[in-house]
Amino acid sequence: LSRRNLVLWIAVLSSVVVASVASNSLDDGGLFLGMPVSLLHPLVACLLLSFLFWLFSRTEWHRGDS
Amino acid sequence: MMDPIGTAVLVIYIAALLLLGLWASRRSRSDPEDFFVASRNLGPFVLFATLAATNFSAFTFFGFAGAAYRLGYAYYGIMAVGTSMMAFSFFLIGRKVWRLGKEKGYITPPELIGGLTGSEGLRTLYLLVMVVFTMPYLATQAVGGGIAVENLTDGAVSYEVGAVVVTLVITAYVLKGGMRTDAITDVLQGLLMVVTMVSAVGIVAWGLGGFGPAIARIGADHPGLTGGDGFPWQMWVSYIVLWTFADPMFPQLFARFYAARNENALRRSMIAYPLIVGTLFMGPVLIGVWGNISLPGLDPIGSDSVLPSMVAEHGTSFLTGTVLAGAFAALMSTADSQLLVLSSMLTRDVYSRWIRPGSSPKGELLTGKVLVVVLAGIGLSIALFRVDSIFEALTKTTFSGLALLFPSTVAVLYWKRVSARGCISSILSGGAVYGLMYADIIPDRFSYGFLEIVPALIVSITVLIVVSLLAPSRAKDVEPRLERTLASKGARSNDGRGAASYINRRGRSGYDVP
- Comparing B156-170, B373-387, B412-426, B463-477, which segment has the lowest mean pLDDT? B463-477
> Which phi and psi (to 5°) does residue B471 adopt?
-95, 140
Mean pLDDT along residues B218-236: 86
Closest C-alpha among B437, B514, B481 to residue B104:
B481
Average the pLDDT over A22-31 and give the result.
Answer: 81
Q: B interface toward A at CB cutoff 8 Å?
A: 72-74, 76-77, 80-82, 84-85, 87-88, 91, 95, 211-212, 215, 219, 223, 226-229, 231, 233, 236-237, 240, 263, 267, 270-275, 277-278, 282, 285-286
pLDDT in tens, B54-76: 998 877 877 889 999 999 999 99
Alpha carbon distance B444, B426 (integer Å): 22
pLDDT at res. B385: 74
Residues of A in contact with B226 (CB under 8 A): 29, 36, 38
Percent above pLDDT 70 for chain B = 88
Tell me the average pLDDT across B4-23.
87
Q: Which among B246, B252, B197 is positioned nearest to B51, based on CA atoms?
A: B252
Exposure letters B168-202 (e unless 16+ CB within 10 A, then b): ebbbbbbbbbbbbbbbbbbbbbbebbbebbebbbe
Does the pLDDT value for residue B496 go beyond 90?
Answer: no
Contacts for B165 with CB less than 8 Å, ≥ 6 apart: B14, B145, B149
Write the pLDDT tens digit of every residue in B101-133.
999 999 999 999 999 999 999 999 999 999 988
* Contact assignment for B278 to A43 by CB distance below 8 Å: yes
- Give the angle subtended at the CA of B52 by the CAs of B46 and B57, to the nearest 5°: 130
- Alpha-carbon distance of B32 to B347, in angstroms, equals 10
Contact B429, B463 (CB under 8 A): yes
Helices marked H in B153-281? 159-207, 211-221, 233-246, 251-259, 263-280
Contact indicator for B193, B329 with CB cutoff of 8 Å: yes
C-alpha distance from A56 to closest chain B C-alpha (Å): 9
Which band of pLDDT confidence, cut at 50, 70 and 90, is reported for residue B186? very high
Q: How confident is the model at residue B497 (pLDDT cuts 50, 70, 90)?
A: very low
Question: What does pTM read for this prediction?
Answer: 0.88
Q: Do B289 and B211 touch, CB atoms closer than 8 A?
A: no
pLDDT for position B8: 85
What does DSSP assign to residue B260? B
Closest CA to B407 of B361, B457, B468, B364: B457
Q: What is the DSSP letter of B27?
A: G
What confidence score (pLDDT) does residue B486 get?
Answer: 46
d(CA B261, CA B50): 13
- pLDDT tens-digit profile of B131-184? 988 887 788 778 777 877 776 677 788 888 888 988 999 999 999 989 999 999
Task: Please report the number of interchain residue pairs, chain A to chain B, with beta-carbon separation below 8 angstroms.
Answer: 115
Those residues of chain A whose CB sits closer than 8 Å to some CB in chain B are: 10, 13, 16-17, 20-31, 34-36, 38-39, 41-43, 45-47, 49-50, 53-54, 56-57, 61-62
CB B303 within 8 A of CB B233: no
The secondary structure of residue B449, as a DSSP letter, is T
Q: What is the pLDDT of residue B190?
A: 92
The answer to whether the Cβ–Cβ distance between B226 and A13 falls below 8 Å is no
Checking phi first, is residue B209 left (phi over 0); if not, alpha (psi -120 to 50) or beta? left
- The residue ranking higher by pLDDT, B504 or A26, is A26
Mean pLDDT of all residues in B327-332: 86
For residue B272, the chain A residue with the least C-alpha distance is A50
